């Protein structure tokens, strides 16, 4: 880890999100959106934990770079004073909308994750013994929020189960998501959060699963999906600007995961990638028609694949995304701050 002298540059890190960063909260739930089985975790020091990856997630990488000596505990496993260093509330299949992902089973929606955080804040007050102490502590924490992917993947672009695709244009759907997102950020702010990193959504139309379904040549991304994702991201940038102008005691930033992902896919050799359009572990076309199955033998050259399974980047990609979120390599990686700058403010 980077901080030889021990103290992390932020005292605590709270994580809200979906399967890209879930570290085990879904293990206790009745859902097919679980990853607590081999070969998930094949390259992770603790084996299969419920992370949807062969190794570290982006937030694991960020946690290391912030200087923590252990990963942030999933909320479902947090005990005692764990909560003072943060918690990971993320839940696979979760979305901004309540119904998103319901066809997969139980999950903790964004509103549910924030409700869990409100509960955690009262534990922080109890542990520290006074509201001012708690407010001071919580104001220094980093809060990263990465949701929205499932609102497209497991809602808007899934007409078999959901009617939103007929009810909303891509623009009005993005507006609805941003309105709901804003409500949750306000609740977090009212419960002491002051440093927010809003992670944009990636190019979902480039996932092996979407390529398997919708790409004739197996390499051309689904532009209909990517275009909708870009609309959402542009509104997220506007939201960051709005909050920064109107809440002087808080700092918000946007992390351009879409752009970082596009760079890896456009310049794979720069990062040591050879395969950008197929999962390392999966079944069928692009290894993307069915995601990685329990006990399945994954590819051996895992660091040469951008994707670990039908939907999720592998550890090698997460190291790039997490690293550039923490310390930008291009001006476009983060707006207006990277996470390192946010921690130092």
Q: In 3D, which of 60, 39, 53 has the Cα closest to residue 92?
A: 53
- What local confidence, expressed as pLDDT, does residue 8 receive? 94
- Encoded tokens for 52: 């949807």
Q: Which of 76, 91, 222, 312 is catalytic?
A: 312
User: Does the annotation count 176 as an active-site position?
Assistant: no
User: Does the annotation count 338 as an active-site position?
Assistant: no
Q: Which of 18, 19, 117, 222 is catalytic?
A: 19
- Other Cβ atoms less than 10 A from the Cβ of 214: the count is 15
User: Does the annotation count 19 as an active-site position?
Assistant: yes
- What local confidence, expressed as pLDDT, does residue 2 receive? 45
**Segments in the chain below pLDDT 70:** 1-5
d(CA 232, CA 242): 15
- What local confidence, expressed as pLDDT, does residue 3 receive? 45
- What local confidence, expressed as pLDDT, does residue 141 receive? 98
Structural contact between residues 140 and 153, judged by C-beta atoms closer than 8 angstroms: no
Q: Sketch the domain layout of the chain as residue ranges.
A: 13-203+216-256
Q: Residues 325-331: contacts with CB within 8 Å, 24+ apart? A: 325/58, 325/62, 325/197, 325/199, 325/255, 325/257, 325/260, 326/61, 326/62, 326/65, 326/66, 327/65, 330/259, 330/263
Q: Which of 263, 309, 333, 338 is catalytic?
A: 309
Q: Computed from CA positions of residues 107, 61, 134, 148, in that sequence, does the dihedral angle turn out positive or negative?
A: negative
Residues 6+ apart with CB under 8 A from 20: 52, 57, 58, 90, 146, 149, 312, 313
Strands 275-279 and 251-255 turn out to be: unpaired
- What local confidence, expressed as pLDDT, does residue 6 receive? 73
- What local confidence, expressed as pLDDT, does residue 5 receive? 60
Q: Is the pTM of this model over 0.85?
A: yes
């Amino acid at each position: 880890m980077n901080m030889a002298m021990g103290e992390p540059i932020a005292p605590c890190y709270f994580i809200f999100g979906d399967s890209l960063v879930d570290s085990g909260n879904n293990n206790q739930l009745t859902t097919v959106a679980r990853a607590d089985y081999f070969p998930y975790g094949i390259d992770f020091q603790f084996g299969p934990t419920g992370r949807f990856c062969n190794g570290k997630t982006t937030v694991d990488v960020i946690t290391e770079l912030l200087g923590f000596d252990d990963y942030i505990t999933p909320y479902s496993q947090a005990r005692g004073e764990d909560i003072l260093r943060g918690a990971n509330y993320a839940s696979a299949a979760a979305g901004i909308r309540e119904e998103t992902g319901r066809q997969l089973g139980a999950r903790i929606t964004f509103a549910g994750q924030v409700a869990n955080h409100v509960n955690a804040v009262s534990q922080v007050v109890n542990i520290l013994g006074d509201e001012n102490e708690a407010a001071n502590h919580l104001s220094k924490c980093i809060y990263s929020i990465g949701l929205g992917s499932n609102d497209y993947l497991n809602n808007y672009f899934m007409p078999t189960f959901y009617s939103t695709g007929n009810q909303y244009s891509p623009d009005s759907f993005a507006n609805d998501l941003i309105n709901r997102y804003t409500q949750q950020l306000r609740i977090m702010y009212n419960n002491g959060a002051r440093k927010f990193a809003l992670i944009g959504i990636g190019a979902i139309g480039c996932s092996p699963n979407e390529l398997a379904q919708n790409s004739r040549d197996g390499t051309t991304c689904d532009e209909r999906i990517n275009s909708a994702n870009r609309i959402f991201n542009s509104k997220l940038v506007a939201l960051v600007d709005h909050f920064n102008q109107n809440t002087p005691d808080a700092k918000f930033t946007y992390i351009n995961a879409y752009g970082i992902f596009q760079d890896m896919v456009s310049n794979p050799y720069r990062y040591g990638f050879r395969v950008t359009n197929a999962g390392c572990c999966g079944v069928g076309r692009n290894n993307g028609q069915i995601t990685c199955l329990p006990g399945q033998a994954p590819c051996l050259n895992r660091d040469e694949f951008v994707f670990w399974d039908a939907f999720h980047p592998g550890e090698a990609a997460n190291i790039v995304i997490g690293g550039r979120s923490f310390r930008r390599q291009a001006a476009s990686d983060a707006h207006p701050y990277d996470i390192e700058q946010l921690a130092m403010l």
